[in-house]
Amino acid sequence: MKFRGAIAAMAASLALASCAGGAGSGQRLKPVANPSEVVATELAFARAAREDGQWTAFRKFAADGALIFGPDGAFEAKPWLSKQNNPEQSVRWQPHAVWSSCDGTLAVSRVSFVDPGDGTTGVGHTVWQRGKKGEYRWVFDFGWPTRDTPPQSDMISADVAECGPVSSVPDASTGQRRSADGTLAWGFSYSADGQRNFTVWTAGAGGTMTPVIEVSIPPAG
């Protein structure tokens, strides 16, 4: 199921939503997709990086056990982030697309970014996991530079997986992680030559799991 909305109108409402508190204590979390909340969290994350400092924001929005997929492979984020000082200018990014499981327990965003320090531009994906109080925190972050400035769009697309039983599953050799309802899965691998691979599957018609993101980044240099 696909949804599209103009970012100009959407961003304003989402910015307000990102300032609001999470679900109240004692309120039961409904197992439904909420891609707007994922976008709102991504926008709040980007704003915190600008206002509070890049690595401060990364620490604030990271889940326990979160991973960063760097040029040398994946590593646990929080121990590394605790030793980082904020750069004078934060990397700036904005979301362009979101994929969500039917139950909303997992979502993946795609962003474009620019580093004002050296002018580097690029693209990235963030995997978001919903917590017990309904808040989203990132569990996987993967970005890479691009030669050309990524195309900018006034639209944010949202794709929600089909609900219901899943009739097929991705190859377990990818080290996949899955949403609670199994309708979104993601996995990554690091080749011996330094190539980084990232794949996301969502449930389509009949519960068939189909790749919606397939990225392979060759080693740097």
Question: CA-CA distance, 51 to 217, in Å (whole number)?
Answer: 31
Give the domain ranges of the chain: 2-163
Question: CA-CA distance, 169 to 203, in Å (whole number)?
Answer: 9
Packing angle, helices 7-19 and 35-52, rounded to 10: 70
- pLDDT of 17 strictly over 70: no
Question: Which carries the bigger pLDDT value, residue 39 or residue 11?
Answer: 39
Mean pLDDT across the chain:
86
- pLDDT of 73 strictly over 90: yes
- The torsion region of residue 193 among left (phi > 0), alpha (psi -120 to 50) and beta comes to alpha
Q: For the domain bounded by 2-163, which CATH number is listed?
A: 3.10.450.50
Name the pLDDT band for 21 (thresholds 50, 70, 90). very low
Phi then psi dihedrals of residue 28, to 5 deg: -75, 130
Q: What is the pLDDT of residues 124-142, one digit of tens each?
A: 999 999 999 999 999 999 9
For the full predicted model, state whether its pTM sits above 0.75.
yes
pLDDT of residue 169: 75
pLDDT of residue 31: 74
- pLDDT of 11 strictly over 60: no
Helix (H) / strand (E) element for 43: namely helix 35-52
Name the pLDDT band for 151 (thresholds 50, 70, 90). low
- pLDDT of 28 strictly over 60: no
- pLDDT of 1 strictly over 70: no
Q: What is the mean pLDDT of residues 97-107?
A: 97
Residue 197: CB atoms within 10 A of its CB come to: 15
Question: Which carries the bigger pLDDT value, residue 115 or residue 18?
Answer: 115
Name the pLDDT band for 167 (thresholds 50, 70, 90). confident
Q: What is the mean pLDDT of residues 203-208?
A: 94
pLDDT of residue 147: 81
> Per this entry, what is the length of the chain?
221
